[in-house]
Amino acid sequence: MPSTRKKTMYILGAGASCEIGLPSGEKLKKDISPHLRIKLDESQNQHIEGDRHIASFIIKRIKDNAKDSDSLVTDANQIANALPLSDSIDNYINCHRDSNNIKMLGKAAIIDRISQSEERSKLFNIGKSQLNDRLENTWYLEFFKTVSVNRRFQEFKRALINEVEFVVFNYDRCLEKFLFVGIQVHYGVSKHEALDVIKKLSIHRPYGSLGEFGGDEDYGFIDISESPQKIDGIRTFTEEKDVDVREDITDALSECTKLVFLGFAFHDTNMKFFKSCYGAHDKINIYATTLGISSADLGQIEENIYDIYENHPKYDRDLEINVVTEELTCVELFKKHKIGLRLS
């Protein structure tokens, strides 16, 4: 029996993290390319060109006589040369999913660049007195207000855990890092209490992440040559765990009466996670930022949003779907729709 609880689902794309200094998909692709132009010396023991951490990762693979390691430098440069022809690094990896080297190097580059961006972001080493100065023009502060308004700590905790679902398509850990600091500052609780809230949140990550967030030490640069196991935490479009994640998102979606798309590009490969909704609610409110999306594409995007509910038992009968698309940044959306975006 579907739940009748009213919940809000936040769907975060790359644009949501851009507001604190993380790269968009296009910028990530451009950033990765020169870092994969790896050149080693003749002995294949010394880095000459390209990213030194990725080069060290390759050198270690060569020394360990890992399978296909003799072509790693060639494969890295192949990715670097081909990325301008691809929609994104994720798409390129998917197109070459039969190549273990391409998958491994592509994921290693994603980890290297995204974790470096975390370290350069507005959230890195943020002090309790710096939240407003650093995050004033980001959606993070506005989101926190929608949950915390008129709520004491235990009420806030219950609301965030029981009334909010997150679907995060980004590999970064910005959401967890912000909440970790924000909860401590706003409610004057300990790191342990803030982390306890974060560990109980419903955060769905279709493509994985840089790693589980366990505190300040889990935000910032990762040396992939020292932590190659992190590669296993990054998933591509077609890897088998997608099925499980899709089912989890479908179940969560059935309980939501409000969807908020932030910095999301609405690619078909991502929209597949929002099909087969079977919720019991008869009214759904949907908000979406569409900054940078052409007017020619907007009509198709709105149609795709409605299609989320095409399998809903009340679709075309008693289901009311209200879609608000705004050519705004994420923070501008929150400021314009303060009342509409508050938790029910």
The residue type at 151: R
- The answer to whether 100 and 85 have CB atoms below 8 angstroms apart is no
Contact between residue 15 and residue 170 where contact means Cβ atoms under 8 Å apart: no
- Taking alpha carbons only, the member of 24, 44, 35 closest to residue 109 is 35
Give the C-alpha distances (Å, rounded to integers) separating 42 from 55, 72, 73, 89. 14, 14, 12, 29
What ranges do the domains of the chain cover? 7-22+124-336, 25-120
> What is d(CA 223, CA 117) in angstroms, rounded to the nearest whole number?
13
**Per-residue pLDDT at 287:** 98
d(CA 124, CA 115) in angstroms, rounded, equals 11
CATH number at 7-22+124-336:
3.40.50
Rounded CA separation 330/337 (Å): 11
User: Cα 42 from chain centroid?
Assistant: 39
Q: In what order do the strands lie in the sheet with 164-168?
A: 202-204, 164-168, 7-12, 256-262, 283-289, 320-326
Residue 145 sits at φ, ψ, to 5 deg, of -65, -35
What is residue 309's predicted lDDT score, i.e. its pLDDT? Answer: 86
pLDDT reported for residue 316: 66
Bridge-based pairing state of the strands 47-49 and 39-40: antiparallel
User: Where does 37-190 have alpha helices with state H?
Assistant: 52-63, 72-82, 89-95, 100-120, 131-135, 139-148, 153-162, 174-187
Q: pTM to 2 decimals?
A: 0.93
What is the mean pLDDT of each successive set of 10 residues along the chain, which is 344 residues long? 71 96 96 97 93 96 82 96 95 93 97 98 95 94 96 97 97 98 97 98 95 96 97 81 79 92 92 75 92 92 89 73 96 96 86
* Total Cβ atoms within 10 A of residue 98: 7
pLDDT for the residue numbered 140: 97
Q: How many CB atoms lie within 10 A of CB 140?
A: 26
Q: What letter would DSSP give residue 23? A: P
Is residue 38 within 8 Å of residue 52, measured between CB atoms? Answer: no
